[in-house]
A and B are shown apart, each in its own frame.
Chain A
Amino acid sequence: MPFNALQEKDFFGRLPEQDNLIKRVLQADRGQARSAVLSGQRGIGKTELLKRLFGRLFWTQDRVAPFWYSVNPALLSITAFSKTYLFRFICQRLAFTKKDQSLFYHDGISIDGLSTLVEERDAFWAKEILDQYMQCAEDPLDALRIALAAPHRSMLSTGIPVAVLIDDFHLIQGLHLGGVPDHRLASLFQEPMAHGKTPHMISGNMAELQEMPLVSGFDRVQLHPLGPEATSSMVLSLLNTHEAEGTMPPLLIRHLGGNPFYLGCIVTRVCEKNNPGEEDFWNAYIQEIMDGTLAHSWSKVLKSFFPDLGQRRTALAIISKIYHTSDALSCQRIAKFFALTDSQAHDIMQRLYLAGFIRGEFGTFRATDDRVLRDIVDSLSMREILAKSTHDLEEHFHGALVPQKEKAVRFDMTLPNAKDAELIVAESLEQIGKNLNINQEAIGQLQIAVIEACINAIEHGRGMDDKVYVSIAAEEDHLEVSVESAGQEFIIQETGEPYRDQEAAKTQGRGWGIKLIKRFVDNVKFEKTAYGTKIVLIKKIEKSASVHQEDTAIRE
């Protein structure tokens, strides 16, 4: 039920998406609302956002009635589905009129009970629908049609549009008549979804939804990972909820990629300790990826797509291979490597893609960007395939993930989308150079490159999260500056290089930016991150000889 949504204080960084959805749904009273699909990786908060949308529609306005339905895999016979769908709709619609949430909890209500309820409330529209449904009880297909059309029919009778919010919609493909799933049954949603006064907002497993012809024409509302600020606020709030104090290491926060589910799991685990320190956070993460809620949730996904143990082991070995290969792999290469037929390899790859373990649907496959998932797969394959002990796993992840005491001096800053914001970084670099006695020429060159990187980041993040996150790390022999923005489409997948977007290309000379950056630093890396895009500039440094001499003189 949607009323178990998170409290307002625990729901972070999704206000623009909420407002967008509300605006979209409220167009229903003019008959112009379009159905949409919420898109985003597992754990990103699609369900929570739908619940939040339901709550706002239910409590804060009277123009559009919300209807929430979460597809239950145990209720996919069309008889069971039709009944629960229709009964819940009627209960929720009646609840909306009186703002009476007690009607939400009538899940097991009988048809007679519902008829009585409908009569008590003088809901003639509902009585008509119920009567028709009862007449069709012998014909499950007709009953399903009536259930799916109920929101539209209620709109025609009452004049109040209905926003239909369906979670886990991909499971609809499992609707069956007599035990055999029939994908065509999902197409019965087509008509109700097309009405401008009954928009359907759906969420579910994105890879599977994309494969459904029914959803292909839908608008997509993309949910991006939480930005650093929303992430920090969420961590703080979760810690407060557990009455704990502590600071999650920034490196771990970045590792979790702004995924609210991941963050929640780690904080819940770490709060088993009082006032956890940095090491405790890392240990909690390692426990979670080895044997915690995080590991179990992904194991469950793997099991649901590969119920057979032998096939699951092969699938796991394939994912591991893909995760540890920099090239994209074709089905043919996988087949050859694992001694499978092309058809077997294709089937496994397709399932892994649908399950969200790998990317790429046009014949070649790559690792996901999700670093947590990669760690979980490593943990699973080390344990299940290589038969490593828990101690070995702990040692491996501790060595691979937990940073040793950093030699680097590190400075982090957040730039707003403000005039000449890039100069703040350039000026900071100058001061850092002075503080650390770094050769001024190297600093000057790095400043030029950093200015360009920041301008690019601001341009490419515009319209999303406008902030740019800059991190400057001074190591023994080099300076490393990373500039991260929300621009999602900044990097060409095949080359890893950024492209000049059309606006930039129109401005004469803007294509020089990357060329100039490459000229003035020793190494440039472009990375696609969970937040967006990151460019990392590395400049070798020498400490100023003159300052060393001064130091020596002072010591003498």
Chain B
Amino acid sequence: MMPKGYINTIGAENLASTSEEFIDKGSKKLVVNFTDVQFINTIGLSIFLSIVQNTLECNGLLCFTNMKKDHREMFEMAGLIKHVKVFKEEKDALNYLNGRS
């Protein structure tokens, strides 16, 4: 998944529904690439919390890649980072996930 721009209510809700669709179809490994994310606010952050919860509930794995330092700090502050795998690049996440399967 590649969210773009400002992750606020609408942006994060779109992301949440996309992740739910993947999970419903049986995908348990999700990668979120933050390259094009410009800003995240706390409303967006709270919706990310529900994405993390949904993934954990189905024993899935969520990977974040290409995060800016500030955005990573936001997720750390919210206590979400410990529930996801963070990679520098998307390809690193994909290699990791392929290696696990």
Contact = CB atoms under 8 A, between A and B. Distances in A.
A447 interface: yes
Nearest to A455: B41
B49 A508 contact: yes
Interface in B39-88: 39-43, 45-46, 49-50, 68-70, 73-74, 77-78
Given A512-B78, A515-B77, A444 B8 contact: no
Contacts of A447: 39
A519 interface: yes
B42 to A, nearest CB: 5
Given A455-B41, A509-B78, A510-B42, A423 B49 contact: no
Contact of B77 (A422, A507, A519): A519
B70 A448 contact: yes
Nearest to A509: B46
B39 A451 contact: yes
A510 B74 CA distance: 13
Give the bracket for the number of chain B residues in contact with chain A. Answer: 10 to 19
Contact of A445 (B6, B70, B77): B70
Instruction: Give the one of B8, B41, B50, B77 with max A CB within 10 A.
Output: B41
Contacts of B41: 422, 448, 451-452, 455
Interface in A443-475: 444-445, 447-448, 451-452, 455
Contact of A423 (B6, B42, B70): B6
A134 interface: no
Given A444-B68, A445-B70, A420 B43 contact: no
Contacts of A444: 68, 70
Given A420-B6, A420-B8, A423-B6, A448 B74 contact: yes
Interface of A: 420, 422-423, 426, 441, 444-445, 447-448, 451-452, 455, 507-510, 512-513, 515-516, 519-520
Contacts of B40: 448
Nearest to A515: B77
A515 B46 CA distance: 14
6 contacts: A422-B41, A441-B69, A507-B43, A509-B46, A510-B46, A519-B73
Nearest to B79: A512
A65 to B, nearest CB: 51
Nearest to B49: A509
Given A451-B41, A509-B49, A512-B46, 11 more contacts: A420-B8, A441-B69, A444-B70, A448-B40, A448-B70, A455-B43, A508-B46, A510-B43, A512-B42, A512-B45, A513-B42
Nearest 8 interchain pairs by C-beta: A509-B46, A512-B42, A508-B46, A444-B70, A513-B42, A451-B41, A509-B42, A509-B45
B68 A507 contact: no
Contacts of A510: 42-43, 46
A519 B73 CA distance: 9
B46 to A, nearest CB: 3
Nearest to A451: B41
B93 to A, nearest CB: 23
Contacts of B45: 509, 512
A447 B70 CA distance: 10
A427 to B, nearest CB: 9
B42 A426 contact: no
Contacts of A508: 46, 49-50
Contacts of B46: 507-510, 512
B6 to A, nearest CB: 6
A451 B42 CA distance: 9
A451 B7 CA distance: 12
Nearest to A510: B42
B79 to A, nearest CB: 10
A470 to B, nearest CB: 16
Contacts of A513: 42
